Structure 1
Amino acid sequence: MEFVRNEADAIYHEMVFDAMGPQPEYNEGSMAEETNSKAREFYDLLHATEVHISAKGQNITVLSWVAKMLNTKTLYNMSAANWEMTLSLSRKLLSPEDQEKIPKDFYSAKKMINVLGLGYKKIDVCVNDYFLYYDEQSKNLTACEPRNMAVVRQKDVPRKSLWYLPIILRLQQLYMSKKMTEHMTWHLKCREDANEVIHLAGTEAWKHFDETYTTFAKEPRNVRLG
């Protein structure tokens, strides 16, 4: 059966390209194994925007279905076990062929979405926001040591957590495309007049940063956030 991509499907298709970068042109300097791995992840996810499942006469792509199911978990604060029970019931409404197309558990669904660079890390935090606890030792702490007053964990459960959204993967993905790499290094290679402010590289703040951190400034692919 052949499906025609509708507007909703196109949005998810474009989302993959936006998150993973303008594929599939990879830089020659990239390591072969890493490139092949990233390319495989990209095409697997892109495939999920093309493969359809049918339910009650309506067709929906696998990626769209997974994204909406995970969104439901977030909206209603469902536990992983609760969500997987809902997943199991939903799968029974599909044909055996379609059941094989979608993730079988929460881990598999989250792994698919994480390829988009939408993962996160939870870091223990002092309830009064004095300190962040990154390492494994924080799991044994019951109080914020310097203050000895703010409880960090109670019954092995963090009292407060920071949800950190890593951006390193997203920045790396920008350099997986030759075309995007040209844009990312335009400030060094394509500016005709260094004194004309047509890019942030011409501002005093940028110049001061380069003078202060000379080693960082020597690599044009380094990204400045601010």
Structure 2
Amino acid sequence: MDKSWISWDKNSSEYQEKAKEFIFNSKKYARNPDLVRCPCIICQNRSTQTDEVLLLHLVKYGFDPMYKDWVGHGEPTRPTRSARTNSFVEVPHIDEDSEMHDAHHMYEDTYFQLPRPDGGETSTFTNLDDFYRNKVLEAEVPLYPGCTKYTKLSATLNLYKLKADSGLSNVGFDNFLKEFKNMLPKGNTCPDSLYTVKKTLKDFDLGYEKIHTCINDCCLFRGDNLNLQKCPECQASRWKVNPRTKKIEEGTLAKVLRYFPIIPRLQRMFLSSTIGEQLTWHSSHHSQDGMMRHPVDSVQWSFIDKKWAAFASDPRNLRFGLATDGFNPFSEKSTKHSTWPVILVIYNLPPNVCMSSENLMLSLLIPGPRQPGNDIDVYLQPLRDDLVKLWNGVEMYDAYSKAMFNLRAILLWTINDFPAYGNLSGLAVKGEFGCPVCG
């Protein structure tokens, strides 16, 4: 395609005519002809625009200088050099229904800057630099020369999911990858070990916080207690103590709480236009016959709407349920250990999506060996702090509406058995006054 015109004066009639011609030709390759990906320096192909807005962007901002191959607008593919094999491989056109498209936009959602609706400075969740640009290009490299269904990234994701679903051991997975790589054509980009798979997928890892805790569940070593060496309540060391010699083994933690921050994960969810649309499902699916089919039809939901009308006015604001209980992750013969996961359920989602495993957010992993009991509130502090932030509002970008907004969230319910209910609420659930309703 002729690209010489993109360097012309953007205010000239010649440039504008060429831009209109570009838009007309690009509509042939768009999933929706009324919305074409905008290659301007602000949108960088991550937003779709109408003809009028697209022309305005091209005239006002110009083309993204990094967009040299117009593969998203109908330009034929060209050979490119694979960094791994030093051979030429073909980068195919990204079909928007293929797994290659999903992998490509997985990187886009993670690393690219997001345009502000006012056309001002961009909002960035992760800095965009050459390293991540190379990651995007790597996501487009096919699994082997001529492959049109899988890229290196999509194949890695599928193979790793296969390992998790089948319970394949690390050694077995390594052996499988070596054999599978040898079966593929020469010049393939398939990973050859579990280490390579983890290294590739590490870029998507949102991570978790390791928070030191008192061995007796008195406190967390965070905030004002961050630099303390002993618990301010029971004076127990934050480090492991040898039970025989009583020597403190500095560097070996006595107990660790693992917290998976929820705000970055919610930001990631709203970066997907599909999930962003699903998160507003509840606003247009109230029951019309008085039957309850989703929590949106409940009395508690209506109570929240009436009490906090400003919160209810934006359907993107989230409503959580919190579920927790203990389980033994080790041998069934051992009954002494009890690890407590704390899981958040997002009730904005449709009923068939709401309780699916991928949408249940593990937020805390409370360590054993014993159950936290009434001290569970100590471990809930990091989650509580983030929920307070979300109630006050956190700025996010919504890819569905293509606009920044102030996300708020509220905790509606807890889901647990009766003993755990007593721990979470602080109410008596046994003995002479064991009814939490009437006391």
Query: Could you tell me the TM-score, scaled by structure 1's length?
Result: 0.52
Question: SS state of the match for residue 129, structure 1?
Answer: coil
Match of 1:132 in 2: 220
Aligned equivalents of 1:121, 1:221: Cα separation in 2: 27
Query: Across the two proteins, how many residue pairs are aligned to each other?
Result: 177
Aligned equivalents of 1:19, 1:216: Cα separation in 2: 32
Aligned equivalents of 2:140, 2:283: Cα separation in 1: 39
Amino acid at match of 1:131: C
Aligned equivalents of 1:157, 1:122: Cα separation in 2: 13
Amino acid at match of 2:204: L
> Would the alpha carbon gap of residues 207 and 172 (structure 1) be closer, same or farther in structure 2, given more than 3 Å must change?
same
Match of 1:48 in 2: 138
Deviations 1:96-140 (A, max 9, x none): xxxxxxxxxxxxx87x755525311111111122322222642x3
Using the TM superposition, give the Cα deviation of residue 175 of structure 1 relative to its aligned residue in structure 2, in angstroms.
Answer: 1.9
Question: SS state of the match for residue 180, structure 1?
Answer: helix
> Would the alpha carbon gap of residues 124 and 172 (structure 1) be closer, same or farther in structure 2, given more than 3 Å must change?
same
Using the TM superposition, give the Cα deviation of residue 207 of structure 1 relative to its aligned residue in structure 2, in angstroms.
Answer: 3.2
Amino acid at match of 1:151: S
- Contact 2:286-2:296 within 8 A present in 1 as well: no
- Contact 1:123-1:162 within 8 A present in 2 as well: yes
In structure 1, which of residues 207, 210, 219 is the aligned counterpart of residue 302 of structure 2?
Answer: 207
1:61 maps onto 2:152 in alignment: yes
- Contact 1:185-1:221 within 8 A present in 2 as well: yes
- Contact 2:115-2:122 within 8 A present in 1 as well: no
Match of 1:173 in 2: 268
Match of 1:83 in 2: none
Using the TM superposition, give the Cα deviation of residue 159 of structure 1 relative to its aligned residue in structure 2, in angstroms.
Answer: 2.0
> Would the alpha carbon gap of residues 51 and 188 (structure 1) be closer, same or farther in structure 2, given more than 3 Å must change?
same
Higher RCO (C-alpha 8 Å, min separation 6): 1
In structure 2, which of residues 284, 288, 292 is the aligned counterpart of residue 197 of structure 1?
Answer: 292
- Contact 1:127-1:152 within 8 A present in 2 as well: yes
Alignment of 1:1-226 (within 5 A): 1-2=88-89, 14=102, 29=117, 32-34=121-123, 45-51=135-141, 61=152, 64=156, 113=201, 115-135=203-223, 137-138=225-226, 140-148=227-235, 150-153=236-239, 155=250, 157-191=252-286, 193=288, 195-210=290-305, 216-226=311-321
Identity of aligned residues (%): 25
Question: SS state of the match for residue 224, structure 1?
Answer: strand
> Would the alpha carbon gap of residues 218 and 130 (structure 1) be closer, same or farther in structure 2, given more than 3 Å must change?
farther
In structure 2, stretches of 5+ residues that fail to align are 1-87, 93-97, 145-150, 161-169, 172-197, 240-248, 322-439
Deviations 1:51-98 (A, max 9, x none): 4799xxxxx937949x98xxxxxx79xxxxxxxxxxxxxxxxxxxxxx
Using the TM superposition, give the Cα deviation of residue 223 of structure 1 relative to its aligned residue in structure 2, in angstroms.
Answer: 1.8
Aligned equivalents of 1:42, 1:200: Cα separation in 2: 41
RMSD (CA atoms): 5.0
- Contact 1:122-1:164 within 8 A present in 2 as well: yes
Aligned equivalents of 2:297, 2:127: Cα separation in 1: 34
- Contact 2:143-2:152 within 8 A present in 1 as well: yes
Aligned equivalents of 2:291, 2:106: Cα separation in 1: 31
Question: SS state of the match for residue 171, structure 1?
Answer: helix
Aligned equivalents of 1:12, 1:167: Cα separation in 2: 28
Instruction: Mark the structure with the bigger radius of gyration.
Output: 2
Aligned equivalents of 1:36, 1:169: Cα separation in 2: 9
More strand by share: 2
Aligned equivalents of 2:103, 2:214: Cα separation in 1: 36
Match of 2:374 in 1: none
> Would the alpha carbon gap of residues 205 and 224 (structure 1) be closer, same or farther in structure 2, given more than 3 Å must change?
same
Question: SS state of the match for residue 143, structure 1?
Answer: coil
Deviations 1:185-209 (A, max 9, x none): 1211454739443432112343344
Deviations 1:141-191 (A, max 9, x none): 22211222x322353553221121122222112222444322211211454
Question: SS state of the match for residue 155, structure 1?
Answer: strand
Question: SS state of the match for residue 318, structure 2?
Answer: coil
- Contact 1:27-1:177 within 8 A present in 2 as well: no
- Contact 1:126-1:160 within 8 A present in 2 as well: yes
More helix by share: 1
- Contact 1:16-1:45 within 8 A present in 2 as well: no
> Would the alpha carbon gap of residues 120 and 28 (structure 1) be closer, same or farther in structure 2, given more than 3 Å must change?
same
